Amino acid sequence: MGDIWPFLFTLLLSASVVPCKTDVPNARTFIVRVQNDLKPSRFSNIKAWYKSTLINSLGSSTYDSAQTQDTGHDLLHVYNSVFHGFSARLSPQQAEKLTDLPEILAVFPDRLIPIQTTRTPQFLGLKDEDTGASTNGIIRESDSGSHVIIGMIDTGVWPERLSFNDKDLGPIPSHWRGKCIGGEKFPKTLCNRKLIGARYFADGYFAHYGDEVGETKELIKSARDTVGHGTHTASTAAGRHVNNASFLGFADGVAIGVAPKARIAVYKVCGMQGCVTSDVLAGIDAAVEDGVDIISSSLGGEPMPYHEDVIAIGSFGAIEKGIIFSAAAGNSGPNYMSVTNTAPWITTVGASTIDRKFPAELVLEDGRVITGSSLFQSRVPPEAKYVPLIYAGNASTLGRIGIGSEYCYPNTLDPNVVRGKIVVCDRGEVSRVVASVVVQEAGGVGVVIANVEKLGQGTIADAYIHPGLAISESDRTIVLKYIESSPNPRATLRFNGTTLVGVKPAPTIAIFSSRGPNSISPHVLKPDVVAPGVNILAAWPDGIPPTELPSDLRRLSFNIISGTSMSCPHVAGVVALLKGAHPDWSPAMIKSSLMTTAYTYDHDGKALLDEKDFNASDVFEMGAGHVDPEKAVDPGLVYDLTVDDYLNFLCASDYSSDEIKVITTRSVACNGTQKHTLWDLNYPAILVFFNESAPSKSEIVVKRVVTHVSDGASTYRVKISSPKDVIVTVDHKKMVFLRKDQKHSYTVRIRAKNVGLPRGGKKATSEFGHLTWTDGKHQVTSPIVVTWTP
């Protein structure tokens, strides 16, 4: 993920190192899940009980009575809404001792997780190209989301940006219960009818990194954004109309968010090094308590079982209260099974490209022109002379390949070899803009960042400080062959400062977007959908360079960056429009509308391609497809889900009653008379598995229930495209709906052909199809995935 965003770092288990009032050896931050209904009546409030629990279980030598009167040192956070419990600094032995108490459901070590536009609303079909005016129904029906509140779980906000002005906005929605909390460099008067809430949660971050992060101003004690990521995502989701927006002249035009009238509440939980889960959970907890309608979380760590995943637990609590939870799929593509935020109640968003590129050229002296991508603001004249071109792997300080020089690691390039040359660096082990600085410091005059094999054909435009561009894997092969075959390879870089619009094919699946299948719940499709996430222009704070590098002296109001972090707020904005148009829809209904109306073709009607190799993508890469807001507002039919449906799914997934209680706080007996199957979760996709060597289990029966959400009567007929080697049938060919909100159930039978024949050797193989219900106007499509296991 660090290749996409310079300040994203490797996932780590956190260990608190901050001295506290008590000198606890090996102190770390732990999150404690508590069963609140066991609170004895003698305690006037939950917090007093939590403190007493610590004293009585861990001993007064650690938590004396004087300390329990201090409200800020022994408990980092108290959680009241989506999660009942607290976080505190404990030794591993003390944390283990707490698990013996009947009221303690679970204890989690705090973890560090990474943070994972002038054109995109138009690309989504939400504004007119010339005027920026709405031309379709969803904007009108939702009033641009004016009565909807989006809670941004991120790095904070730069409130002075015009993207957050409240001109002509009506009163704050009446269901808002939150507040604007002032702090360092952030007086609460900076909130308005657009930015209606601002809070910050940093105790876990300070506990992990120490007070020096405050002294260096890496993280200040307010909701002000000192990173940039949160300002960018908030304005992407719901930024106001801003004229003459651009990045150094690139992508110039009108900047506007997806839901420009939606209200924003900011919950700062991350710093430059990432986010710690104790703070993230506090932000989610506060957002739900404050009355947000949607939570946008461009964060994600390693996939893990839901009873161990604090974000899965917190998001379940949000969904339980009717709040949609949109989350980034992760930036670990194109690796197989890399998608994160895998719980079925989360709306998980992958990244796609749009029809805009920022071309730059590497011109070889033999006349060939290699077109790449760059946001470098050229100071190099077009007629610049040719200079030597070398591969970084041949410029090692130790004179051999294999110690990092090929990736242009710091201090790996020999200045005597690099000086005065253009250097080709492999992409992947160090951020692209850092590699360009390494080349410059070694005396190079330009850098070419080349995709290696697994990174394929997709390139990202970066704001290089020094002349630089990115090229594809196939172009890397051309350039390296030229270097190897020419006795004196030479080239020049050409930057025209242009922005190309209408680029084809578009959209495509971004190379970095994390892929399925779902490693935790294989019967649940992830990602759910994809949305724009490449080269996205949005607001940016003062004082923060676009590359995050200290040597970058540029300061801008807008920045162009890429990642599923950018895709997630796009969907949050679309959800705000849907919620504004249909305030009575449940989170599952909204997700269903996004998935069943998503498209799987580009704007020329051809199959959506994957940037990895420009072959057709499948559902593990694109989910149900690319979001289509105008169709999603009128999907015809939806697949709804209740909390009980999720509980049944957890039982079918072999979670124990105790583990389900950790996730949901509910007591569930999974050994009831009714048998629940994994594939019967009423999800808008069907994923089943066949064992190649088990001919007796050659048919799987899947049940679904749809709700009619259009006005009037409708008759829907089914169309089926069966995956290879199976026959898919439905128990009835049509469904007749007489009124809105009427429900119908149907049964799908998936029968395997040629069971017993080997297919994929030692690997599982998947085949894809789909099932569509249509009334002539609506196309309600569910992907079907059949996986054969050896």
Q: Which residues are catalytic?
A: 154, 229, 565
Max intra-chain CA distance, the chain: 86
Q: Measured between alpha carbons, how far is residue 92 from residues 110, 224, 442 in Å?
A: 12, 34, 46
Considering only CA atoms, which of 180, 161, 182 is closest in space to residue 172?
A: 180
Burial class (CB in 10 A: 0-12, 13-18, 19+), 174: exposed
Q: Label each residue of 664-730 as H, E or C.
A: HCCCCCCCCCCCCCHHHCCCCCEEEEEECCCCCCCEEEEEEEEEECCCCCEEEEEEEECCCCEEEEE
Residue 57, phi then psi, degrees to nearest 5: -90, -30
C-alpha–C-alpha distance, residues 55 and 37, integer Å? 20
C-alpha–C-alpha distance, residues 590 and 633, integer Å? 9
Beta strand 263-268 with 149-154 is: parallel
Instruction: Please compute Rg for the chain using Cα positions.
Output: 27
Considering only CA atoms, which of 556, 580, 503, 572 is closest in space to residue 534?
A: 503
Residue 85 has a CB neighbour count (10 Å cut-off) of: 27
Residue 748, phi then psi, degrees to nearest 5: -110, 130
C-alpha–C-alpha distance, residues 784 and 771, integer Å? 7
Beta strand 294-297 with 149-154 is: parallel
Chain CA centroid to CA 323, Å? 17
Considering only CA atoms, which of 11, 27, 8 is closest in space to residue 19?
A: 27
CB of 755 closer than 8 Å to CB of 744: no
How many H-runs (helices) and E-runs (strands) does the chain carry? Answer: 19, 39
3-state secondary structure of 393: helix
Residue 208 has a CB neighbour count (10 Å cut-off) of: 25
Q: What is the DSSP string of 464-483?
A: -SSSEEEE-HHHHHHHHHHH
